[in-house]
Amino acid sequence: MPASGKQKSGAKKATAKKSPSKSAKPSTGKVSGIQGRMPEVDGLDAVALLEADHRAVEQLFAAFEKASSDAEKRDIANGICVALKVHARLEEELFYPAAAKVLNDTSLVDEALVEHASAKDLIAQIEAGAPGQALFDARVKVLGEYIDHHVTEEEDEIFPQCRSSNLDLATLGAVMASRRQELSLGFVASNPVIGLANARSDANA
C-alpha cells in the first residue's frame, strides 16, 4: 500500500505488538467458526470497540500463519475477510464521519479510506481464491501487513484525538455495536462457506 509521509513515519511501529485495550473484553471464542472469532463489544465505547476488533483480527492472522491444512486456512481466511469487511463498514458509516468533526487533520480520515479501498481489493482476491492456489498465502500475508500499518495509524493518531475530544464515544459505541451485529449476521448468512464452518464449530463444541 502506498505510504504518505505520515505513513512512512509510522511504518516501523507497524510491526510492534499491540497490547489489548484495557476496556476491551477479550474474545473467548474458538479459532474455528467466524462467530467465535468476533469479540464481545456490548458496553464498549466506540474506540474500545474498534480496538477489540483490531486485537481479534491480529489473532486471526497469527492463526493463519500456524494453520497446516487447506481447510483450516480457508476457514480462517474467510473469518479474516468477514471481520475486516464488517469493521470497515462500521468505520466508514459511523466512526469516520464522527471522528472527522473533531480531528485536527481531516486528511487522516481520507488516508484511512484509501487504505480501506486497497484492503478491499485484496480481500476480494482472497475470497475468489483458495488455499493451494498460487499467491493465496501471499495475499493473506500482505493483507495482514496492510492492516497492521492501518491499525498503527488509527491507534497512534486518530483514536487519541477522539478520546481527548468532546465526542460522545459511549453513545457512538452503542450504535456501532448494534450495527456491527447486523453486518456480522448479514455477511455470515450470505457466505455458505462460513455457514458450514460455523456448523462444524457448533458440532465440535
Is 145 part of a structural domain of the chain? yes
One-letter-per-residue 3-state SS of 135-165: CHHHHHHHHHHHHHHHHHHHHHHHHHHHHCC
- Predicted pLDDT at 32: 39
pTM for the model: 0.75
Helix (H) or strand (E) run with residue 22 in it: none
Domain count, the chain: 1
CB 91 within 8 A of CB 99: no
CB 197 within 8 A of CB 78: yes
Range of the domain at 76: 37-203
Distance (Å, whole) CA 127 – CA 99: 30
Question: Percent of the chain, pLDDT > 70?
Answer: 71
Is 27 part of a structural domain of the chain? no
- Predicted pLDDT at 191: 55
DSSP one-letter code for 76: H
DSSP one-letter code for 15: G
DSSP one-letter code for 117: H
| pLDDT tens digits along 120-139 | 999 999 999 999 999 999 99
Distance (Å, whole) CA 174 – CA 165: 18
Q: What is the grid cell recorded at 180?
A: 456491527
189's CB contacts (< 8 A; 6+ apart) are 195
- Predicted pLDDT at 186: 77
Is 195 part of a structural domain of the chain? yes
Mean pLDDT lowest among 20-29, 55-64, 118-127: 20-29
Is 66 part of a structural domain of the chain? yes
Q: What is the grid cell recorded at 50?
A: 474498534
Buried b / exposed e along 176-197 (16+ C-beta atoms within 10 A): bbeebeebbeebbeebeebeeb
Is 198 part of a structural domain of the chain? yes
Task: Please state the length of the chain.
Answer: 205
Is 175 part of a structural domain of the chain? yes
Is 15 part of a structural domain of the chain? no
**Whole-number mean pLDDT of the chain?**
80
